[in-house]
Amino acid sequence: MDDFWSGVGVDLHLEPDAADGRRAGLERALRDAVRDGRLAPGTRLPATRRLAAELGISRGTVKAAYDQLVAEGYLTARQGSGTRVASLPSVGSEEPQERVRARAPRFDLRPGSPDVGAFPAAAWLRALRRAIATAPSLAYDYGDPRGRIELRTALSGYLGRARGVLAPPDRIVVISGYVQGLALLTRVLDGAAVAMEDPGLPFHREVVRRNGGTVRPVAVDAQGVRPVELGDAAAVVVTPAHQYPTGVTLHPERRRALTDWARARDGLIVEDDYDGEFRYDRQPVGALQGMAPGQVVYLGTASKTLGPALRLGWMVLPPHLVDAVADAKLHSDHHTETIGQLALADLIDSHAYDRHVRACRLRYRRRRDQLLDRLGPHRSVRGIAAGLHALIEVPEEAEALARAEAEGLALGALGDHWHTPGPGRPQGLVVGYGTPRERAYPEALEVLAKVLDAPS
């Protein structure tokens, strides 16, 4: 009969009648427990005399098993401290960890991330406390897949005054970030052709493909996306306030042409307003949704304003899509977590969110100004004064990236954003200034200038 021993707080599966004997069985049980983590590093094992008495075997058998595992490196034995479990690296982990350390940049100027060190922790904590103190008990139960009415109501007011979005609460669905919103919408469109900006973020194209959509490129020039190239696409995904990665804003004539296309073909415009609050040379351009609320799905998140870890976003939908998207949300994850929704609603209603956005706008404007000042007037920087990134034109993208890597500097590459990369495409570096932290930012700019000024 199998025997189970728990002398150190775990069950060791022993086979006393195994053909290779009790010592081999004890060795195998201990070895397996160390490997799978049931015996943690540093755990002290029982003395050989005690274990032998518990198992009904000779002390010599236990000592021989201990000695063998010490020799194999699973255990350690020191005078005065007994026999303990050794610290073992995870299988195959040593080399990958070294590669990760080698890849870790000294300075990270890749685009896409805000300054998470500026997260308003004190204001968020106050909002959380108020939310928890006033939340009804049913707030902790399963909720509406569209999201809490408190947050949808708060967003309705905020988006109207800050972004010019027509957003009745009953047309808002709270989501766990932009990626989920894009995925839900793609499923609702059920395999339709979705036009996406070229250049644009490759990850978003993959989200559409993995949720059953067909991706078509639509060119972007100095005036933004080109509506004349949309053809018979069912939907188009655009970043009109601040195109990613070129940094241009959609020209007023293009805005009208885009909404005319949607009305004429019953097409859908998906507006990714990922950093619309951050404009530095003038008031932010109002959202495209305000021009055609029946044809535009507006997508926004707290990822750039507060932090991507919160996983809070929102969709403002045309009336005919609300129920379908809410149903897709229900069958995806039921609903976005509730307490964070209530805290964000409080943050918006108390105007702490507006104050934080204004502070961030000043911080990022200062960082962008520092970037332009350090690069000087002879370096071509594309895009409007907005957002968290800038596009720097370079003649040889690959060489500049190689120099940056040698200096421990991480940058984004324009070449990675084309639907079909190849010769003849414009080249450039996509530089994010949301990171690194304030103290490291000036040195990061010095390294960037060194990389750009080096002879090719």
For range 247-251, the mean pLDDT: 96
For range 387-412, the mean pLDDT: 94
Confidence class of residue 32 from pLDDT cuts 50, 70 and 90? confident
Q: How far apart are CA 127 and CA 249, in angstroms?
A: 34
Domain of residue 10 covers 3-85
Per-residue pLDDT at 234 exceeds 90: yes
For range 171-191, the mean pLDDT: 97
Confidence class of residue 9 from pLDDT cuts 50, 70 and 90? low
Q: Is residue 96 part of a domain?
A: no
pLDDT of 8 reads 53
For range 157-184, the mean pLDDT: 97
Do 48 and 128 lie in one domain? The reply is no
Confidence class of residue 20 from pLDDT cuts 50, 70 and 90? low
Q: In 218-314, which residue ranges form alpha helices assigned H by DSSP?
A: 252-265
**Whole-structure pTM value:** 0.79
Do 339 and 273 lie in one domain? The reply is yes
Q: How far apart are CA 117 and CA 320, in angstroms?
A: 40
Q: Which of 352, 370, 403 is the last residue of a domain?
A: 352
For range 147-174, the mean pLDDT: 97
For range 118-131, the mean pLDDT: 96
Per-residue pLDDT tens over the stretch 269-327: 999 999 999 999 988 889 999 999 999 999 999 999 999 999 999 999 999 999 999 99
pLDDT of 94 reads 47
Q: Is residue 180 part of a domain?
A: yes
CATH number (domain holding residue 74): 1.10.10.10
- CA-to-CA dists, residue 89 to 34, 41, 97, 276, angstroms: 11, 10, 10, 46
Joined tokens for residue 85: 């479990």
Per-residue exposure over 319-347, b if at least 16 CB sit within 10 Å of its own CB, e if not: eebbebbbebbeeeeebbebebbbbbbbb
Do 18 and 55 lie in one domain? The reply is yes
Q: Is residue 317 part of a domain?
A: yes
Do 111 and 50 lie in one domain? The reply is no
DSSP 5: E
SS3 217: strand
Which is more confident, 79 or 221?
Answer: 221
